[in-house]
Structure 1
Amino acid sequence: MASDEEKKIEVTVPQAELDSAKAEIDEEDDDEDVASGEFEVTKEEMSIIRAELACEFPDDYTYLSDAYVKSVASKPYSKDPTVRRPLEYTMEKLTHVMEWREQNGAPELESLVHLANGPETAPEAVEQPEKLTKAKALVYSLNNGSIYWHGVTKEGKPILWIRCGRKPWYPNVEAEVNALVLIADAGIKCMPEGVTDFVVVSDSNSPPPPVPSFMINVLKALVRGYPDRLNVLLSAPVGSIIQFVMNLLMPLMPGRLAGKFLLKDQADACEILKEWLMHGEDDIPTFFGGKSDHDKYYPEEYYCTNKGQGTLKFDYFGMIERLQACAKEWEEKQKE
């Protein structure tokens, strides 16, 4: 007889949905087997790229840092790894990212947080009820505190923590994806100077039943909207639900992305975190048996109070301030 956990994951995914997702991801990813290494990118070339981005995306072009643009431009060319990517090719890849952001409304998501944090009698809320509804759905997805940035690694990479046990059983998929994009953007904007990627640590205790449409949309967002942003994802402990998720997503992933997922038991995860975290063992959270109390800043929704006159309870703006302080601390350490 199947266990309760096994019963939860008797989920079928339409083959057409999987085929469509695979085709979309494959179309975007053509650099899987490119050799590692970097080539020089001149100041003049950077200026050309910057100018074109500013022209095409005047409201969002500053989202891409110089360090990230340079990291994309300096890679070997997929068709001839002995030379650098042509500028036209780099522009095409960066344009795809920016177009994805535009199509998915990424640049406006933080404004939705402000809207939902204000009174429903505000002129913008009254005049745009559909926008207010979207804003409220977004902050409802934030309020459970299931995703947040906290701290950086010894290499200055911001750490995105996922608390699977806090995820809803019946999520609003669009709102959940929007919340993840919002949080991802916030962390990227707070990266220390010269850092271009981040680390994800998932507390995978008691995850809810998997929602394939959500997971597939997250994977597509990672490949299309955040290429080369994920450094590594550590998940612990690993039960049958996490195994189901990985079995679903692995066939869809580009090879180099699949290699960035580490599935460990809690003891092994803690040993890894000792090596990764900026303050070592002191930064391991209490939910992994460590000393750092994340719940002080990101408690369960029941213990949260509204941050403004609206429906936001998650400490979004405090999260940004703390991450900026961590980034500054790391930058100061590099000067020592």
Structure 2
Amino acid sequence: MGNACFSHCQRPHQHAGTTKEQGAFVSIGSSSTTASETGESYNNIRDGLSADDAAYHDEDLFYDSDAYVWFDAFENFPDEGEASFSLSIPALKMVRTRLKDSFPNDRNFLNDDYIRSMACQAYAKDRNPRRAIETTIEVLSNIMEWRDVQNVSELPHLVSMAAASQAQLQRWKVSQSQLKRAQNLVKFLNTGSVYWHGMTKDGRPILWVRAHRFLLPAAKILLLVQEDENLVDEAQRMALLLLADLGIQHGMPDGISNVCVICHAESLSAPTPNDANKFAAAAAAAATASRSGPILELLTKGYPNRIHQVWITTPVSSTSTMDEWIQMQSPLLPDELAESLIICDDDDDDEEEECQERLAEEVLLNGWEDLPAFLGGPNQDHDHFYPDSSSREGSFLEFDFYGMKERLMEQRMEYEERMRRE
């Protein structure tokens, strides 16, 4: 399933020395013991995890269901030179309880698959795959704290405000400042520049970025919000955070913890370096960020390990500029993001056909029939469901936000049912 870790991660088997970060065995008695009975309390579990005298060697470790559960972030089952690491059920329960207690209003954002994928990450400095469970909890807590600061969980309410009648707004006692933020948010959504539609062959929801819509001329954007450029950045930032959350919470089948992004540079040719910067930033930021905001902060603090691949379909005339940008920016990007960028040229017939074939054969769930018309395919759904409505007057929601959410949930359930049948 790509480069993410789900129920378990395969890593090279290492015969390393014992450290206190590697965890401890905790005796739980017979195999009939229930998960709630295993540690007596989470404090006891934590004490077992952090015991300085805890010791084990990979070559000597075997799982004995009658006696022990490994309470580190990983369980290790040596098998012919490879080790399999996964978050144990009691440890997963412990992580969930800690996060639920600290962030009761946003506890559903982190599902079990994402917690497991984060637990499978290596340490940044020594690349040791054994990230301690306390480190995992700290990383996830930092994500949740960042979400609190960004008020991410409140964004769906802004969409409701923009779609509400005057009577509803009065009943909800919506302030003028709240209403203004809601209107600016939906004005960006109405461009139809970023939306969820379809899935990859391995079940990842696809976030589409229509670059020529995303990079609206500055005068047009400023006219939309009738204020200053800071409000443009805020509107884009809010919209992308809102869409990222929607896909994560409603579009991921069981076992999936990251997404695919396809960014199309339709109608863009020979961009200036500044335009290329914005365009590439839009592609990388599609899951999270804003046009000129702190993109790296958003990617690393808000949504780490959430992007599986970023496909960029771009005219050949702009490819060299894009390559230069990627080479220049890659050292600053998280490793998983830098490695996920794929440029697909489509300027001439041969290149366009190759790009179409790659997307149909490697990415899109139903192959050619899912390829959108703007990429030369037969699928008309994109412009039908997500037209550019930014030219319409008014501050109301034209973008089919709730229809997109419903389709996202339906495709997830259909994929899960398809997997069960197979």
The answer to whether structure 1 residue 135 and structure 2 residue 182 are counterparts is: yes
Q: Which has the higher helix share?
A: 1
Unaligned runs of 5+ in 1: 1-35
* CA–CA distance in structure 1, aligned partners of residues 373 and 166 of structure 2: 37
Aligned to 1:290: 377
TM-score by length of 2: 0.65
Count the aligned residue pairs: 298
Aligned to 2:299: 222
1:120: how far off?
Answer: 3.9
RMSD: 2.6
Contact 1:77–1:86 (8 Å) recurs in 2: no
Residues 1:249 and 1:108: Cα distance change in structure 2 (over 3 Å)? farther
1:142: how far off?
Answer: 0.2
* Equivalent AA in structure 2 for residue 269 of structure 1: C
* CA–CA distance in structure 1, aligned partners of residues 295 and 334 of structure 2: 14
* CA–CA distance in structure 2, aligned partners of residues 326 and 314 of structure 1: 19
* Equivalent AA in structure 1 for residue 101 of structure 2: C
- The alignment-based identity, stated in percent, is 35
Aligned to 1:189: 249
* CA–CA distance in structure 1, aligned partners of residues 390 and 105 of structure 2: 37
Aligned to 1:271: 357
Contact 2:189–2:239 (8 Å) recurs in 1: yes
Q: Secondary structure at the match of 1:301?
A: coil
* CA–CA distance in structure 1, aligned partners of residues 393 and 192 of structure 2: 13
TM-score by length of 1: 0.81
Aligned to 1:203: 264
* Equivalent AA in structure 2 for residue 169 of structure 1: P
Aligned with 2:342 (options 262, 276, 279): 262
Which range moves more in the overlay, 73-82 or 295-304?
73-82
The answer to whether structure 1 residue 173 and structure 2 residue 221 are counterparts is: no
Larger radius of gyration: 2
Contact 1:162–1:200 (8 Å) recurs in 2: yes
Unaligned runs of 5+ in 2: 1-81, 222-231, 282-289, 347-351
Describe the superposition over 1:251-289 as per-residue Cα deviations: whole angstroms up to 9, x where unpaired: 421333211111111223312211211101110000000
Contact 1:234–1:269 (8 Å) recurs in 2: no
* CA–CA distance in structure 2, aligned partners of residues 161 and 110 of structure 1: 20
* Equivalent AA in structure 2 for residue 257 of structure 1: L
1:37: how far off?
Answer: 7.8
Aligned with 1:320 (options 405, 410, 419): 405
1:299: how far off?
Answer: 1.3
Q: What aligned pairs does 1:63-74 form with structure 2 within 5 A after superposition? A: 63-74=109-120
1:156: how far off?
Answer: 0.3
Contact 1:216–1:249 (8 Å) recurs in 2: no
* CA–CA distance in structure 2, aligned partners of residues 125 and 328 of structure 1: 33
Aligned to 1:18: none
* Equivalent AA in structure 2 for residue 194 of structure 1: G
Q: Secondary structure at the match of 1:55?
A: helix
Contact 1:39–1:75 (8 Å) recurs in 2: no
Q: What aligned pairs does 1:1-336 form with structure 2 within 5 A after superposition? A: 39-78=85-124, 81=127, 84-121=130-167, 122-123=169-170, 127-167=174-214, 168-170=216-218, 171=221, 172-190=232-250, 191-207=252-268, 209=275, 211=278, 214-238=291-315, 239-240=317-318, 242=322, 246=326, 249-266=329-346, 267=352, 268-275=354-361, 276-293=363-380, 294-301=382-389, 311-335=396-420, 336=422
Aligned to 1:28: none
Structure with the larger RCO, 1 or 2 (CA within 8 Å, 6+ apart)? 1
Q: Secondary structure at the match of 2:104?
A: coil
